[in-house]
Every structure is written in structure tokens, then in C-alpha cells.
Amino acid sequence: MRFQGKTVLITGGASGMGKLSGLCFAREGAKIALVDFNQKALNEAVAEIRAITEDVIGCCADVRVYDQAAECCRKTVEAFGAIDILIPFAGGAEARILKAKGDFKEQPIEVFEFGLDVNLKGAVYFAHAALQQMAEQMSGVIVFIGSITGEEGSGSNVAYAASKSALMNGVVKSIAICGAKYNVRSFCVAPGPVLTRPAMANMKTMAGRAAEPQELVDMIMYLASEKGAFVNGTTLLMDGGRNVMPRG
Ligand SMILES: NC(=O)c1ccc[n+]([C@@H]2O[C@H](COP(=O)([O-])OP(=O)(O)OC[C@H]3O[C@@H](n4cnc5c(N)ncnc54)[C@H](O)[C@@H]3O)[C@@H](O)[C@H]2O)c1
């Protein structure tokens, strides 16, 4: 019960690693606020967590809209009195989400804008909104989610690559610096392929496989717990060694 009494706010909480995190933190005593713009999936995820704890709320919101981010933080504090851990999971590669064809040059520029809005601004909006409460309570942990694509770049998902690079460097470092005087720490976990979708099994790693979502969630929980108290302003690339695979 490492997170007994703690409040964890998770965006992208209706599916994948976000939903799994909600379930796992709840099993260890946390109160959970799940954010997603997919109302139906959000309701289902909240119902699953409610089987573990009564202390769960859902907030249907689009992370691209700052006022909605602020409202979800407000509702979380109203329900539970604090925001102890923020994990902005919501995101994804824009070409896949928008079913945009071709490479960056062939895509309308709106595809790039959408990718930045969801992956970069969405995470930073929630960090900004949650920091208001964390500063007041003089404690907090913000966990950004990067990607191996932030290291490698992508010809068809430029905004995704740029956003994840930013979260893994400028954003996580800046939020750690800003958060220090409020006793708020921040780190980033950057996955390689994770089997939230079967297609991720096609991405090569030195480990010869993609990660199970549980492996990522276990690491995030360790780093977000007291055991991870000395981890701040940095990124863990958790990619099965893909980044150091011999190329060529
Ligand atoms: N799966 C992987 O292989 C992998 C690899 C590296 C990084 N990541 C990152 O991990 C995070 C989670 O990935 P996953 O595969 O578990 O996710 P997923 O695709 O299963 O879930 C993403 C969730 O975010 C929600 N969402 C998307 N846009 C939103 C918006 N504008 N407002 C509110 N909610 C929104 C979706 O409805 C969905 O429930 C993402 O940031 C992703 O980029 C995933």
C-alpha cells in the first residue's frame, strides 16, 4: 500500500497504460482521478476502478483545452483535497490518430498542430494546472511520458517526435526547476514499443520483444514512490535497449 491516501491524477486514463496505472495505484491505496475525452471508455475505466475503491472520479475533458485541464484539477481537489501525483499519459502519434497519409511534407499542417496540441501542450497544460495545487500543498510528483520516437525522430509524426523530445528534455527539466521551491519533483519515463496495441510488436528492440504495459507502470510507480525521491529533472528511456542497437 505504497500510495495509501495519495491522490493520483491520470490523463489518457480510459485505455492503455493510463487505465492500467489507475487500477494499479488504486490497488495500492490511492484515490484516482481519470481524465479522457472518450466518455464511454472513461465510464468503463472508472467502473473498473470502483470495484477496487470508492475513491475514484472521471473527468471527461480534452487535454488540448487549458480551461478543461484546470477544471479537472479543480474537481480532483474538490473530491479528494489534493493532487499528489500527476501522470499526463494522453497522447499518441498524430498520423495514426488522424489517419493522415504520407510523410510530413505531404500532410496538411493541421496534422502537425494537432500533434503538438495533444502531446506537448496537453501534458504541459496539466502540469501548469496541477502545480497550482501542488505549490499550495508544498508537495507533488509530475511524471511525464516520453517516447523512443523523441530520440529517433519520425518522418510522418514530426509533432509527436518533437513533443516527446521536449517533454524528455526542456519540459521535464524546467518543471523540476520550477517545482523545486514547492517541493515538487518531476521526471519522465520514455517507453520503446509497448503492447497496448498489437502492432507495437513489430518494432525491434535489443530485448527481442516489446514491453508489457505492466513493466512500464511498475517502473513509474517505483519512481513516483518514496523510493524514487532522489529522481528529479531526468528521463528514463525504457526501450529494451533499442536506442543502443547496432545500426546498419
Ligand atoms: N504504446 C506504446 O508503444 C508507446 C510507446 C512510447 C510512448 N507511448 C506513450 O504512452 C502514452 C500512453 O500510450 P498508450 O499506448 O497506453 O495509450 P492509448 O492510445 O491506449 O491511450 C491513450 C488515451 O488518451 C486519450 N486521449 C487522446 N487524446 C486525448 C485528448 N486530446 N484529450 C483527452 N484524452 C485523450 C485516448 O482517448 C486514450 O484513452 C502516450 O503518451 C504514448 O505516446 C506509448
**Smallest CA separation from ligand 1 atom 1, residue:** 194
* pTM of structure: 0.98
- Give yes or no for a contact between 36 and 18, defined as CB atoms under 8 angstroms apart: yes
* Among protein residues, the one whose CA lies closest to atom 34 of ligand 1: 36
Strand ranges (E), 78-183:
85-88, 140-145
**Separation of 121 CA from ligand 1 center, angstroms?**
14
| Rounded average pLDDT over 62-69 | 98
Instruction: Give pLDDT, residue 237.
Output: 98
The per-residue pLDDT for 248 is: 66
Average pLDDT over residues 140-163: 98
State the DSSP H helix or E strand holding residue 166, giving kind and residue range, or none if neither: helix 158-166
Average pLDDT over residues 101-115: 98
Q: What are the chain's domains? A: 7-237 (3.40.50.720)
pLDDT of residue 247: 76
Nearest CA to ligand 1 atom 36: 12
Tell me which residue has cell 475514484: 56
Residue 20 has pLDDT above 90, yes or no: yes
In which band, very low, low, confident or very high, does the pLDDT at 110 lie, cut at 50, 70 and 90?
A: very high
pLDDT of 7 above 90: yes
The answer on pLDDT for 44 being more than 90 is yes
